[in-house]
A and B are shown apart, each in its own frame.
Chain A
Amino acid sequence: MKSSHEKSIFMEKNSIPFRFYKQLLFSCLFSLLLLFFLTGCQLSGKKEPEQDVLSIKADSSLVMLRYRTNLFVIPSAHQTTKIIRDHHVRLDESLLNPVINAKRYTGSFQQAVNLGIYGTDAGYLSLFGNNQQALAYFAVIKDLIAELQLYEVMDQHLMDRIETHIDQPDSLIVLLAGTFRSIDNSLSESNRDAVAVLAITGGWVESVYLAFSGLAYADSDDFVAHLLNQKYPLEKLIRMLAPYYQQTPEITALVDDLTNIAYEFDCIDIDQHYQEPDLNTVARSAIIRHQTIAEMHGYDLDKLTVKITTLRNRLIQ
């Protein structure tokens, strides 16, 4: 005969909780067995080892963002800065946001937007081999990340890796792109999506500002085509910022300015030429041969440049 104390700890065999847990245990085992059987016993050893970020090509650094039921893929700011370099536009350090400005950014809006701006600047300097100056920008990025309480995103280990890879610009850009993906993940998990979107927007504005500033020096129409394609990420950024439109006056002003820029992008003449895709059923792949011809008049390009420059200069103040 069990004491009353024992009864409270050990469930009696025929008590309702005991029967419930027994049922639950059997059901779990049954489900696992069934699943294991139906899935061809693939549950073990299926996970592939985690890939080192440095083995990914730098120019693959698109940014994929998730917002509620939407998935947005935008080119990372570093893709644009790489295109600047590839089209022989010279490095112009005077265009960058000086690191000394970082002290001014006390509000989370300024910190988030300028985190993105400094991220682009760091990538831009790295691509042109100005590594020592790039390190100063990485230090500012680290400070802003700390201010935004995103400690897990850029820890001492990552800073050490950045210093180790300072002579390898492409690796640095991959590290930076990975950092921004982590920011997005971290903020999405903590329901602070607005900060992630603001950082990505800041990075986008800076990259487009740098690219438009180099327009006069670019050596091909391909460069202009890339700039005109920025219409698509801009539309996505506006859609992602829209839910926060009335959250603060700064976000309201930012969305208004971006919308204004989007109107200028609407002046682009876009001509789509449909071609039948090439399908390879064995490889399960397709080549999409659509061609998009985008054109914009010089006058409209100038107006666009002025609007982007005005917004960017307001954001770094």
Chain B
Amino acid sequence: MISNVLSYMGLSIILFFMSLSVYADDTCQDLIPQDYIQHEQRFHVTMLAEDLLFQVTFYKEYAYRIVVLSDQSDELAWELLDEDKQVLFSNALFDYSPYWDFNFMDTMECTIKVKHSEEVNLSNIFFCMGYKSAH
């Protein structure tokens, strides 16, 4: 009887976390407003013991929405850095907001750094980006 209960719980936990991944994936896409263009493919990667870096060129006069989510934690920290690794934005200062909009006055190369922590280790990180003309 006890072994049955334990196996129910084990399977439930596995399926629950699988469901959370699907949910986080959908939420990532849903946080991009309809008037933004986004890549049709989902982009996710497992967080393994180090920061994740996404290199993106942002173009002048475009508006971007960046969404970064973890399927295991609401306190996922990410930053936007310029070419000199200067922090332009950190979501940790804004209650770990999963998304933020950016308007660029000039074209620039940036890095989006998703910070590793014990809470998000081995979690699935979902990254979505949408863009539109700023005019």
Q: Which one of A185, A236, A284, A290 lies within 8 Å of B100 (CB-CB)?
A: A284
Q: How far is the CA of A51 from the CA of B37 in the complex (A)?
A: 10
**Segment 263-298 of A: residues with Cβ below 8 Å from B:** 272, 274, 277, 279, 281, 283-292
User: Given the known A-B contacts A24-B11, A31-B16, A35-B19, are A292 and B37 also in contact in the complex, defined by CB atoms under 8 Å?
Assistant: no
Q: Which one of B4, B30, B55, B94 lies within 8 Å of A281 (CB-CB)?
A: B94
Interface of B is mostly: mixed
**A279 partner residues in chain B, CB cutoff 8 A:** 89
| Interface band, chain B | 35 or more
| Contact present for A27 and B8 (CB under 8 Å) | yes
Contact pattern, B 21-61, Cβ under 8 Å of A = 1, otherwise 0 = 00100100010001101111101010000001011111110
| Contact present for A288 and B55 (CB under 8 Å) | no
| Interface band, chain A | 35 or more
| Contact present for B34 and A59 (CB under 8 Å) | no
User: Given the known A-B contacts A62-B37, A279-B89, A290-B82, are A73 and B129 also in contact in the complex, defined by CB atoms under 8 Å?
Assistant: yes
**A284 partner residues in chain B, CB cutoff 8 A:** 94, 97, 99-101
Query: Looking across the interface, which residue of chain A has its beta carbon closest to that of B7?
Result: A23
Which of A26, A34, A56, A286 has most chain B Cβ within 10 Å?
A286
Q: Say if the beta carbon of A136 comes within 8 Å of chain B.
A: no
Chain B interface residues (CB < 8 Å from chain A) = 4, 7-8, 11-12, 14-16, 18-20, 23, 26, 30, 34-35, 37-41, 43, 45, 52, 54-60, 62, 82-84, 86, 88-89, 94, 97, 99-109, 127, 129, 131-133, 135
